[in-house]
């Protein structure tokens, strides 16, 4: 049975919340709980009963609504075992390689430090779905608040090892700015240029660009393309390691 997904925007930081629902088991998971009112409104709109929250990392725009929603619904809260800041309200902690079962579906936990050191992502192999939090964005990646370039590069390599048809849900609508930046380091990438145009059209109609797929990200996301000869030549880094090229791309994005 295929799971149903409901995505909704919230907050001033262009966040997305996501609900995952199994209509047979009548179980529902929320990825993060950054805005309690928005999450409760999403549950009301879908009519889905919340059974679990899956926290990706400790940042306030991912956990601010957690205790309110947990008190209102009695749901179970899963979150990172690797702790960089305490998260109030966690019932179950998961680290890299852990797995658990949600409504009969196996969920694999992938630790992807870089944006924060506690970041975990949730992958459902049977559904080809991954929730990447603030690690992998559409044509971008999260800023390095707690980790460094090589750490984030290694984390993204864990994600690109998943099947290319995996559908990726991330936590922010940063795509248009990411596309503009991507073109500055990979200007002759036809797939990227076409996608940047398509993204502008979607955003002009206030439509989401999330979810994406790993295949589309491999073709257009410069943070996954540190091994690309054209990008390396553009940066004058033909002989550098992939992690060094990644770190330079991240540095340029931060300065953009």
Residues classed as catalytic: 57, 59, 61-62, 115, 134, 172
CB 48 within 8 A of CB 6: yes
3-state secondary structure of 31: strand
CB 137 within 8 A of CB 178: yes
What residues contact residue 4 under an 8 Å CB cut-off, 6+ apart? 20, 21, 22, 23
DSSP string, 39-89: HHHHHHHHTPPP-EEE-----HHHHTTHHHHHHHH--EEEEESS-SS--TT
- Residue 32 as a binder of Zn ion (CB under 5 A): the answer is no
Site for Zn ion in 126-155 (CB under 5 A): 134
- Residue 27 as a binder of Zn ion (CB under 5 A): the answer is no
Two tokens at 11?
């907050």
Residue whose CB is less far from Zn ion, 118 or 134: 134
Residue whose CB is less far from Zn ion, 143 or 252: 143
Residue whose CB is less far from Zn ion, 134 or 217: 134
> Rounded to an integer, what distance in angstroms lies between the CA atom of residue 105 and that of residue 142?
28
Q: Is the peptide bond before 139 cis (omega within 30 degrees of 0)?
A: no
Q: Strands (DSSP E) along the chain, which ranges?
A: 4-10, 15-22, 27-31, 52-54, 76-80, 92-94, 99-102, 105-111, 120-124, 129-131, 136-137, 140-141, 167-169, 212-213
Two tokens at 137?
């964005």
Residue whose CB is less far from Zn ion, 59 or 105: 59
What residues contact residue 188 under an 8 Å CB cut-off, 6+ apart? 230
CB 95 within 8 A of CB 111: yes
Residue whose CB is less far from Zn ion, 159 or 185: 159
- Residue 59 as a binder of Zn ion (CB under 5 A): the answer is yes
Question: Cβ-closest residue to Zn ion?
Answer: 59
Residue whose CB is less far from Zn ion, 28 or 56: 56
Under the rule (CB under 5 A), what is the footprint of Zn ion? 59, 134
């Amino acid at each position: 049975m295929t799971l149903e997904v409901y995505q909704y925007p919230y907050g001033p930081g262009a966040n997305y919340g996501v609900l995952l629902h199994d209509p047979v088991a009548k179980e529902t998971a929320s990825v993060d709980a950054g805005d309690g009112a928005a999450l409760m409104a999403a549950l009301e709109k879908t009519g889905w009963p919340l059974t679990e929250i899956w926290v990706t990392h400790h940042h306030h725009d991912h956990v601010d609504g957690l205790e309110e929603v947990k008190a209102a619904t009695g749901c179970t809260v899963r979150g990172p075992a690797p702790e960089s800041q305490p998260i109030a309200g966690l019932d179950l902690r998961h680290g890299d390689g852990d797995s658990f079962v949600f409504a009969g579906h196996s969920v694999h936990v992938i630790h992807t430090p870089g944006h924060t050191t506690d970041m975990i992502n949730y992958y459902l192999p049977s559904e080809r779905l991954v929730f990447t939090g603030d690690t992998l964005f559409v044509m971008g990646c999260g800023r390095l608040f707690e980790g460094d370039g090589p750490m984030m590069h290694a984390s993204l390599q864990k994600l690109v090892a998943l099947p290319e048809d995996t559908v990726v849900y991330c936590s922010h609508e940063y795509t248009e700015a990411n596309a503009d930046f991507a073109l500055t380091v990979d200007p002759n990438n036809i797939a990227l240029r076409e996608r940047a145009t398509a993204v502008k059209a979607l955003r002009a109609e206030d439509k989401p660009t999330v979810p994406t797929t790993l295949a589309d990200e491999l073709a257009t996301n410069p943070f996954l393309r540190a091994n690309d000869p054209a990008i390396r030549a553009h940066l004058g880094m033909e002989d550098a390691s992939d992690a060094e090229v990644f770190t330079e791309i991240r540095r340029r994005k931060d300065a953009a």
